[in-house]
């Protein structure tokens, strides 16, 4: 019985620990509508994690450019207010998802990233600067 029970218990524990949510209750990828609604709330920190060249080609108004790939976000993370809601976006959603995970691990409680990135924002007909 022990030969069967212990591996089963280990498998269950591994599965449940992997399924645990990351970050705070408000963390996760959101669609364009939810992103836009959260953006309208006070004290939101909007971060574009694309490169400066991508940012210059067009960005959401009010976004702070903290390049994920270049390590700028990592360098500046300690200076950001962990209590503020954070909205992240990139071109397609991959870099912002990685940045969200890093910020959640660093103690930011409410971090959301735009599913589909600025591409989905533009496809929805929303403005860029």
Query: Which residue range(s) make up the domain with 55?
Result: 23-123
Does residue 102 belong to any structural domain of this protein?
Answer: yes
Predicted TM-score (pTM) of the model is 0.80
Does residue 47 belong to any structural domain of this protein?
Answer: yes
Over residues 97-107, the pLDDT tens digits come to 999 999 999 99
CATH number at residue 60: 3.40.250.10
Question: What is the mean predicted confidence (pLDDT) over 22-50?
Answer: 87
Confidence of residue 112 (pLDDT cuts 50, 70, 90): very high
Does residue 6 belong to any structural domain of this protein?
Answer: no
Task: Count CB-CB contacts under 10 A for residue 9.
Answer: 10
User: Domain tally for the chain?
Assistant: 1
Does residue 16 belong to any structural domain of this protein?
Answer: no
Confidence of residue 41 (pLDDT cuts 50, 70, 90): very high
Does residue 7 belong to any structural domain of this protein?
Answer: no
Over residues 54-73, the pLDDT tens digits come to 999 999 999 999 999 999 99
Does residue 128 belong to any structural domain of this protein?
Answer: no
> Where in the sequence numbering do the catalytic residues fall?
90
- For 53-62, which contacts have Cβ atoms below 8 Å and span 24 or more sequence positions? 54/91, 58/118, 58/122, 58/128, 58/129, 59/118, 59/128, 59/129, 60/89, 60/118, 60/121, 60/126, 60/127, 60/128, 60/129, 61/127, 61/128, 61/129
């Amino acid at each position: 019985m022990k030969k069967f029970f212990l591996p089963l218990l280990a498998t269950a524990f591994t599965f449940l620990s992997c399924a645990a949510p990351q970050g705070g209750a408000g963390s996760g990828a959101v669609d364009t509508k939810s992103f836009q609604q959260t953006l309208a709330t006070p004290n939101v920190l909007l971060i574009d994690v694309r490169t400066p060249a991508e940012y210059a080609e067009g960005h959401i108004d009010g976004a702070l450019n903290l390049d994920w790939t270049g390590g700028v976000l990592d360098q500046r993370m300690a200076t950001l207010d962990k209590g503020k809601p954070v909205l992240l976006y990139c071109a397609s959603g991959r870099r912002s998802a990685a940045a969200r995970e890093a910020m959640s691990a660093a103690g930011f409680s409410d971090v959301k990233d735009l599913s589909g990135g600025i591409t989905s924002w533009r496809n929805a007909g929303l403005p860029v600067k």
